[in-house]
Amino acid sequence: MVRFSGSWTAGPHSRHRFVPPQENDPDSPRVGCAGFRGVRQVTQQMDPLALLSKKLTLRRVKRFGNVGSSPANLGEEVTMDTVATYIEANEQRYVEELIEYVKIPSVSTKVEATADMERACRFLVERMREAGLENVEVLPTSGHAAVYGDWLHAPGMPTVLIYGHYDVQPAEPLELWDSPPFDPKIREGQLYGRGTVDNKGQHYLHLMAAESFLKSGQRLPVNVKFIIEGEEEIGSPNFSEILDQHKELLRADALVISDSPMLDRGIPSICYGLRGLAYYEVEVTAAGQDLHSGSFGGAVANPLTVLSEIIAKLHDARGRVAIPGFYKDVLTIKKKERAALRKLPFSQKNFLQTTGAVRPSGEAGYTTPERLWARPTLEINGLWGGYTGEGAKTVLPAKAHAKISCRLVPNQDPKKITRLLERHLKKLTPNTVRLEFRVHSLGKPWVAPYTHPFFQAAQKALKKGFGRRAVFIREGGSIPLIPDIQDTFNIPVILMGFGLPDENAHAPNERIDLSNFQNGILSVAYFLKELGELGKV
Starting at the edge strand found earlier in the chain, the sheet holding 185-187 runs 185-187, 190-192, 511-513
d(CA 519, CA 465): 5
Q: Answer for the pair 193, 511: CB distance below 8 angstroms, yes or no.
A: yes
What does each C-alpha distance from 247 to 90, 230, 485 come to in angstroms? 35, 18, 10
Q: Answer for the pair 503, 512: CB distance below 8 angstroms, yes or no.
A: yes
d(CA 377, CA 278): 10
What does each C-alpha distance from 381 to 31, 273, 281, 378, 384 come to in angstroms? 37, 23, 10, 9, 10
Residue ranges in 232-319 assigned as alpha helix (H): 239-245, 247-250, 293-296, 303-312
Catalytic residues: 167, 232
Q: Answer for the pair 401, 393: CB distance below 8 angstroms, yes or no.
A: no
DSSP 329-368: TPPPPPHHHHHHHHHS---HHHHHHHH--SS--SSTTS-H
At 423 the three-state DSSP class reads: helix
Beta bridge partners of 99: none
Q: Answer for the pair 254, 160: CB distance below 8 angstroms, yes or no.
A: yes
d(CA 92, CA 263): 27
Q: End-to-end CA distance of the chain: give it in Å, rounded.
A: 27
d(CA 320, CA 314): 9
At 49 the three-state DSSP class reads: helix
At 231 the three-state DSSP class reads: coil
d(CA 277, CA 412): 10
Amino acid identity at 290: D
Convert 295-333 to b/e letters by CB count within 10 Å (16 or more is b): eeeeebbbbbbbbeebbeebbeeeebbebeebeeebeeb
d(CA 284, CA 337): 43
